[in-house]
Amino acid sequence: MNEKKIRAQKIKYFLLGVVAILGLFLLTGASLDNEIPTLGFGRYQISSWGSSLGDKGGAIGVFIVDTVSGETKTVYTRIYGSPGKGTIVKNDLKKPFISIR
């Protein structure tokens, strides 16, 4: 093969590669609906926290995070002191702390 044919083949394959890559880039981002899909599972996550308030006291709580909207809501808060003396500040779930899952 002469040099002109080899150069023409290289240019042809290069241009085919460029067209293929551009086609891939254009088709990868194509979508007809603009809605953000919502997840049917794992949307809400629950987390607990605790803190010491000195030698004989502390606080515990639970909050829920909506992973789609980013909203966080505290659903349980309890402040406790010496044994037998504690105050439930908030209990939206109507359950004891140990049974919240």
Residue pLDDT, tens place only, 1-16: 688 889 999 999 999 9
Residues 90 and 48 in one domain: yes
Residues 30 and 61 in one domain: no
Structural domain total, the chain: 2
84-97: average pLDDT: 72
In a domain, 39, yes or no: no
For residues 63 and 92, membership in a common domain is answered with: yes
* Domain around 24: 1-34
- Whole-prediction pTM: 0.46
83 shares a domain with 56: yes
One domain for residues 60 and 84 = yes
Same-domain status, 26 and 53: no
For residues 28 and 50, membership in a common domain is answered with: no
- Which of 22 and 33 is assigned the larger pLDDT? 22
Residues 70 and 94 in one domain: yes
> Could you give the 3-state DSSP secondary structure of residue 49?
strand
Give the pair of three-digit tokens for residue 16. Answer: 């085919």
Residue 70 lies in a domain: yes
Q: 76, exposed or middle or buried, with CB in 10 Å at 0-12, 13-18, 19+?
A: buried
pLDDT score recorded for residue 47: 85
